[in-house]
Amino acid sequence: MNFDKELDAKGLNCPLPILRCKKSLADMTTGQVLKIVATDPGAIKDFEAFAKQTGNELLSSAQAGAEFTFFMKKK
């Protein structure tokens, strides 16, 4: 998937991946896509909830071993 910016949130635990995501999205324009890589097992539920609360679109989430990859489109 194409993306405009990447956020490395590996090794960070809740709520830091969400806070860093929020900060990164603030610097982006509408329609741009942020790729987030995290290792926190709670990140899946956290990013789903974050998308619902903020209106940003969670395009996809995937797990490869202990890493989770998310693509979020800025509203």
CA 75, 23, 46, 50 dihedral sign is negative
Which residue is catalytic, options 14, 28, 33, 58? 14
Two tokens, residue 35 = 């790729």
Are 39 and 10 in contact by the 8 Å Cβ rule? The answer is yes
14 is catalytic: yes
Residues designated catalytic: 14
